[in-house]
């Protein structure tokens, strides 16, 4: 190596290493973060990086625990439509849970249609979960649901909740960020509609309030927002992959409301960037305000220790 090249290389490395880290993460505070936002990577890789920043899966999953995953598998659409959670991401989460010592990893969703087994397959999640040793559980059978009281609920006082969602050791919420015809944007809080049996009742009795009410009941260990593809319109089912551009974001958060707030901001940003769909303001998303009022989480991101990473 020539001397000049050597010097250049050394100086580049010297400059890049510390400052690169520094610039990418200007607003981070000390200690383990409450929220990590990652961008510019494949869904599984972003998770890999993000969870490492969060302190590893071991922070949330202890040895011998039963882990329940709640991705969004609502629709009979392949991954390109962005209607369901990214299967690679779910698969990687299953792997991390087992690596952290989980006894078993179960995954379920009450799909938006009777043909749940087909939707598990089409979404690719079934394959991803089973390949990593996890197990898919139906959310469609009435006997899987048990009556639960929701003491802090305003509109929703009782609900029939999926057995797996009742007092889980670890409950990981893996929503996908997308447009929704009813609640404008659907993400972490709305994803919990897949835990209960009678969704039409919610639609009938003030949907945003019911979503907020249920979040007071449901234990959440971790929320992982999949925004690898963001469906900007024709949601939540999606009619074309064109409406779901690949934007490569991911938000990992311990605060479910904060995850939704960040996700809605992200949605608006992406919508503006692609000139598609509507860049909704936080005030348009009524369930977030309702959840904040019930004290489920915070909508003030500056209160949290947020780490932002670009890969």
Partner 1 sequence: MGKFFNIAKKFRVLTALTVFCLVSAKFFDVYASLPKAYYMYFNPISTQFAPSLLKMLAFSSIAAGAAFVSFTALALLFGRAYCSFFCLFGILMDVARRIVLLPSFAPILKETRMGKFLGKRFARQKFAAAHNATRAIFLGIAIFALAFGYTSLFGFIEPYSLYGKIMGGAVHPAACIAVNETSQILYSFENFSVRPVNGDPTIPLAAFAVSLIILAAITAVSAARGRLYCNTVCPVGAFLGFFAKFSLFKISIDSEKCVSCGMCERNCKAQCIDSKNKAVDFTRCVLCFNCAGHCPKEAVVFSINPIFKRAGKSHSDTAKAERAQSRISATRRSFPKIILGLSAVLCAAARRDGRGMGFGRGRRHPESEMSDETTPFGMPGARPDKRLAMPPGAQSVENFTEHCTACQLCTAACKAHILKPSVGELGLSGLMQPFMDFRRGYCIHNCHDCSKVCPTGAIKFISNNEKRHTKIGTAVFIRRLCVVKTDGTDCAACAEHCPVHAIEMLPFGRREESLYIPHVHSEVCIGCGACEFICPVQPHKAIVVRGIRKHRKAAVFDESMRLYKSEANSKNARKTDNSEKGKTATGDFPF
β-strands 222-231, 246-253 pairing: antiparallel
What span, in angstroms and rounded, lies between the C-alpha atoms of 260 and 118?
29
Cβ-contact 173, 152 below 8 angstroms:
no
Nearer to partner 1, 57 or 285 (CB): 285
CB of 191 to partner 1, least distance (A): 14
Contacts of 57 (CB under 8 A, 6+ apart): 51, 96, 97, 99, 100
Nearer to partner 1, 57 or 227 (CB): 227
Nearer to partner 1, 57 or 225 (CB): 225
Nearer to partner 1, 57 or 277 (CB): 277
Q: DSSP letter at 26? A: T
Closest CA to 70 of 150, 176, 155: 176
Residues binding partner 1 (CB under 8 A): 37, 39, 76, 106, 112-118, 135-138, 140-141, 143-144, 180-184, 199-209, 234, 236-237, 239, 261-262, 265-266, 268-269, 271-273, 275-281, 283-284, 286, 301, 306, 308, 310
Closest CA to 134 of 99, 82, 169: 99
Nearer to partner 1, 57 or 276 (CB): 276
CB of 79 to partner 1, least distance (A): 16
Nearer to partner 1, 45 or 284 (CB): 284
CB of 263 to partner 1, least distance (A): 9
Looking at the DSSP assignment, which residues form a beta bridge with residue 223? Answer: 173, 253
CB of 6 to partner 1, least distance (A): 33
CB of 272 to partner 1, least distance (A): 6
Max CA distance (Å), the chain: 75
Nearer to partner 1, 17 or 239 (CB): 239
Nearer to partner 1, 57 or 98 (CB): 98
What span, in angstroms and rounded, lies between the C-alpha atoms of 251 and 243?
21
CB of 279 to partner 1, least distance (A): 5
CB of 1 to partner 1, least distance (A): 35
Looking at the DSSP assignment, which residues form a beta bridge with residue 16? Answer: none
What span, in angstroms and rounded, lies between the C-alpha atoms of 122 and 85?
12
For 152, counting Cβ atoms within 10 Å of its Cβ (0-12 exposed, 13-18 middle, 19+ buried), the class is middle
* DSSP assignment string, 88-141: HHHHHHHHHHHHTT-SEEEEEE--SSS-HHHHHHHTSHHHHHHHTT-EEEES--
CB of 302 to partner 1, least distance (A): 10
Q: What are the tokens at 204?
A: 């009938």
């Amino acid at each position: 190596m020539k001397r000049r090249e050597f010097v250049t290389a050394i100086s580049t490395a010297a400059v890049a290493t510390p400052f690169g880290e520094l610039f990418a993460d200007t607003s981070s505070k000390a200690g383990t973060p409450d929220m990590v936002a990652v961008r510019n990577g494949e869904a599984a890789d972003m998770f890999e990086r993000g969870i490492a920043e969060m302190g590893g899966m071991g922070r949330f999953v202890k040895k011998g625990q039963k882990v329940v995953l709640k991705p969004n598998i609502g629709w009979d659409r392949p991954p390109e439509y962005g209607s369901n959670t990214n299967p690679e991401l779910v698969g990687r989460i299953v792997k991390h849970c087992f690596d952290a010592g989980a006894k078993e990893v179960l995954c379920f969703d009450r799909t938006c249609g009777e043909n749940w087994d087909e939707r598990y397959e089409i979404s690719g999640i079934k394959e991803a979960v089973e390949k990593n040793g996890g197990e898919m559980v139906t959310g469609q059978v009435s006997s899987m649901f048990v009556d639960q009281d929701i003491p802090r609920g305003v509109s929703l006082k009782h609900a029939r909740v999926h057995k797996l969602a009742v007092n889980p050791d670890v409950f990981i919420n893996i929503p996908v960020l997308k447009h929704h015809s009813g609640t404008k944007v659907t993400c972490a809080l709305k994803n919990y509609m897949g835990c209960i049996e009678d969704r039409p009742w919610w639609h009938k009795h003030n949907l945003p309030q019911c979503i907020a009410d249920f979040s007071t009941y449901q234990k959440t260990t971790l929320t992982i927002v999949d925004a690898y593809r963001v469906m900007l319109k024709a949601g939540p089912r999606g009619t074309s992959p064109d409406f779901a551009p690949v934007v490569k974001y991911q938000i990992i958060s311990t605060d479910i409301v904060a995850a939704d707030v960040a996700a809605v901001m992200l949605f608006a940003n992406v919508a503006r960037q692609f000139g598609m769909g509507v860049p909704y303001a936080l005030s348009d998303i009524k369930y977030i305000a309702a959840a904040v009022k019930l004290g489920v989480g915070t909508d003030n991101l500056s209160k949290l220790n947020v780490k932002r990473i670009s890969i």
